[in-house]
Amino acid sequence: MGYLAACGFDTGDTAGAITAGTGGGVVSFSNSIARDGGYSLRCTPVGAGTAEIQYATMDLTTGAAAIYSAATVYHRFYMYIAALPASANEEFFQSWNTGATGKINLRITSAGNILAYDSVTALVGTGTATLVTGVWYMIEVKCATGSPAAFEVMVDGVVDISATGNLNASNNGRVRFGKGNNRNSQGYDIYFDTWAVSDSGYPGRGKGKWVSPTSTPTSQWTSGTGTSNHLEVDEIPVNLADYVMNTTSASRRVLFAFPTTTSLSISGQINAVMPLLLGCRENTSVTSSFDGEIWPSAGFKSIFGSALNITTTDRVIGGFYALNPETSAQWTTAELDASKVGALEANASAQCRIAGAGYYVDYTPPADVIDAYRGFFALTRIQ
């Protein structure tokens, strides 16, 4: 299948997350320490407290966050440590099964080393790489299924741990970032960015970017606030007080267009595209029939979230596309340039709002770009 999910946390909020929880800690999003210039995820547990958030993929039928299912997965994410645990160790990453059980659990020690624990909390690997504060690291994790089953942890492309353990009998289904269980009553301050997961091999180096709309070529949602067009849905984080809303006629559509990939310095290999509609809700408690849509070209659309009754509670509606749904091939930058994202409301009596719209793209730039993420300027590969 290839890419199963990807998220760069660039909406600056929990859009796309399955769940988040804190108990004496904070889960937040930062645009001051962010690898790709947007937002990063920040987990700051305090003492015995927790701070965690879980991600998976977006289901095309429901338009909601949903688990994937794969026997072996390969994760890539970037991690920046602002503060290590003062002593001992605490968990910072888990690959969960399709239920609610961790398969592989990574912890960080006060010395900056990674420890790996399996599904029965047995220590099955100790890393030798020393992670220091103030540096972005690319972390890659392989997690299989079974007992014993193989796993691997890499730091900046170098194997740090390779071993086997009890990785549970159920497939991989989601990830958890941060501290979900108190192990040694220690806090830390860690940022995460540009996560992706595949079932066909490591995603490798990559970047991610959230793209907001710059025009509204199809506009039948003119009953919203202000101009009721792209200017009402381009704010990040989303502002729920600004929105577009359909007029009360059947089959009202709105489609948003986006800046060119060249203008955004998006180039190279396009790995995955995730369109999201934020702050979606029905305005008057009438049953809606809402479709989220992505149009890779003028003659083809793919629906994410089909005929939804979205109710009067704000929600996120999205989809995930590792391949262009029109061609069943890898996306190209030209296809992204032509793409539009929006929605159709089929019920003439329903009025629906959208407060934010755009897409997240995971991509691998050409190898000869200038990488400044490690605090120096040199022609090198992006970590």
CATH code of the domain covering residue 85:
2.60.120.200
CA dihedral 180, 181, 182, 186 (to 10 degrees): -40
Domain assignment of residue 378, yes or no: no
- Residue 248: exposed, middle, or buried by beta-carbon count in 10 A (0-12, 13-18, 19+)? middle
214 and 193 housed in the same domain: no
357 burial type by CB count under 10 A (0-12 exposed, 13-18 middle, 19+ buried): buried
- DSSP 3-state helix, strand, coil percentages of the chain (rounded to 5)? 0, 50, 45
Residue 91 lies in a domain: yes
Predicted TM-score (pTM) of the model is 0.94
* pLDDT value for 55: 97
- The answer on 186 and 260 residing in a single domain is no
Let me know whether 305 and 252 are in one domain.
yes
Least Cα distance to 16 among 50, 48, 39 occurs for 39
Among 250, 225, 224, 71, residue whose Cα is nearest residue 144:
71
Tens-place pLDDT, residues 259-295: 999 999 999 999 999 999 999 999 988 999 999 999 9
> Are 172 and 216 contained in the same domain?
no
Among 141, 188, 134, CA closest to 160: 141
- Cα–Cα distance for residue pair 362/8, rounded to 1 Å: 8
Q: Kindly compute the dihedral angle of the four CA atoms of residues 95, 98, 103, 105, in this order, to the nearest 10 degrees.
A: 30
Distance between CA atoms of residues 139 and 125, nearest Å: 15
Structural contact between residues 4 and 175, judged by C-beta atoms closer than 8 angstroms: no
The CATH number of whichever domain residue 230 belongs to comes to 2.60.120
φ and ψ at residue 64, rounded to 5 degrees = -110, 165
Mean pLDDT of 296-300: 96
Which residues constitute the domain of residue 199?
3-204
Q: Do 219 and 182 have their domain in common?
A: no
> Considering the domain boundaries, does residue 10 fall inside one?
yes
18 and 158, same domain (yes or no): yes
Query: Do 183 and 225 sit in the same domain of this protein?
Result: no
Q: What secondary structure letter does DSSP report for 227?
A: T
Are 240 and 194 in the same domain?
Answer: no
370 lies in a domain?
A: no
* 284 vs 226, residue with greater confidence: 226
For the chain, what is the domain count? 2
State whether 194 and 177 are in the same domain. yes
Same domain for 214 and 343, yes or no, is: yes
Q: What is the tens place of the pLDDT at every residue in 161-171?
A: 999 999 999 99
